[in-house]
Homo-oligomer: A and B are copies of this chain.
């Protein structure tokens, strides 16, 4: 490395095992050890190359600084579909300074084009920075703001909207948009990245290209999450916003559809539908129902769970509780009195399962039947996280408890799958 006189930001030609790689030398990050060189290829992808005795490195010059790369000429872009990218923060919405390794928000369409040049060929993009938040700091009031901003872009003529979002709570926001954007005429695609673009094997470029492809070409008008299918760079999956969950802390394939197949996938620039029962583009009148009640709690039951916690929520004026029970939808008998009191005082209590996969069924064992008798309402195969968001949304729409229970049990945005037996939804 030193021999070649190369430094961070230089354009290099690296030859190894008969293969030649041309790209910009990236700073080492915690994911790249001393034994690897990390190059950003022209395609936008980063690769790590192991340093072995047979490697040769040639410095071709200083790389063009991406931040200063001129945007593509505007000619020809008039005919392209209009896509808005609403940025809320997170790794996907950042741009790396190749010199310092520091991460900055990608502020403009120009920035986006400079990081992922392919975008300029695909759509006429309007970039809109709504917030710059790590997604663990996103709250229900942010969901409302995102819903309203997305609707604004659609009303102004966007043919698809991409929402760049941190991955930590992207599943929760996807559910919130699924419920609050009624009568959607076009797709709304949430996208994130698990590794920022200064790391080898960053997923930012592929996910963003997949999201914009879906915004332009998808035949459906639903809220989905666009993320890597697997460890290859072949495809991006489009998961329904109510059925998706981040199931790995760091893998690029972390987002999985639970109790459902993904809705579609983007592969080689095409959108391939996996499910065929979807809301088509172009129909309906957009309506934003963006009220969320925050006095709703998700409680995960565990051995030794303290039922006084339920009493505390009642005393604090909570209006709804989603239980993450065990198995088919159970909690210990020692919680019954607290649940009885909560329900007597008007708190709505619903049951989901901490198993994550599968459906609650409270008719199999006495425990389940007792809970039904107390007034706990089972939520079929709804994800606990989706159930929480839905209950916040439902109690934001109505003050009538019977109507709230009816809405919770009603399938509004594919959050409840039809019963199809015990399909294997994961293997491992």
In the assembled complex, the Cα of A134 lies from the Cα of B371 at a distance in Å of 14
10 pairs of A and B residues whose beta carbons are closest in the complex: A249-B358, A426-B428, A168-B326, A168-B327, A136-B330, A248-B358, A248-B357, A300-B300, A294-B304, A249-B355
Interface string of A278-311 (1 = CB under 8 A from B): 0000000000000010101110111110101100
The verdict on A402 contacting chain B, using a C-beta distance below 8 Å, is no
The verdict on A392 contacting chain B, using a C-beta distance below 8 Å, is yes
The verdict on A411 contacting chain B, using a C-beta distance below 8 Å, is no
**Residues in B whose Cβ lies below 8 Å from that of A385:** 302
Query: What copy number does this chain have within its complex?
Result: 2
In the assembled complex, the Cα of A422 lies from the Cα of B303 at a distance in Å of 31
Least CB distance, A328 to chain B, in whole angstroms = 5
Task: Report yes or no: A137 in contact with B428, Cβ–Cβ below 8 A.
Answer: no
Least CB distance, A38 to chain B, in whole angstroms = 16
The verdict on A35 contacting chain B, using a C-beta distance below 8 Å, is no
Task: Report yes or no: B296 in contact with A298, Cβ–Cβ below 8 A.
Answer: no
In the assembled complex, the Cα of A328 lies from the Cα of B195 at a distance in Å of 12
In this complex, the interface size class of chain A, counting residues with CB under 8 Å from chain B, is: 35 or more
Contact stretch, chosen from A10-18, A19-27, A359-367: A359-367
Least CB distance, A344 to chain B, in whole angstroms = 21
In the assembled complex, the Cα of A169 lies from the Cα of B298 at a distance in Å of 19
In the assembled complex, the Cα of A167 lies from the Cα of B364 at a distance in Å of 14
In the assembled complex, the Cα of A367 lies from the Cα of B133 at a distance in Å of 11
Tell me which of B168, B169, B292, B358 contacts A254 (CB under 8 A).
B358
Interface string of A169-189 (1 = CB under 8 A from B): 100110000000000000000
Task: Report yes or no: A139 in contact with B304, Cβ–Cβ below 8 A.
Answer: yes
A–B pairs, 13, beta carbons within 8 Å: A134-B330, A134-B365, A136-B327, A136-B367, A137-B367, A138-B303, A139-B332, A169-B326, A172-B303, A231-B424, A294-B304, A426-B427, A428-B428
Task: Report yes or no: B249 in contact with A353, Cβ–Cβ below 8 A.
Answer: yes
The verdict on A277 contacting chain B, using a C-beta distance below 8 Å, is no
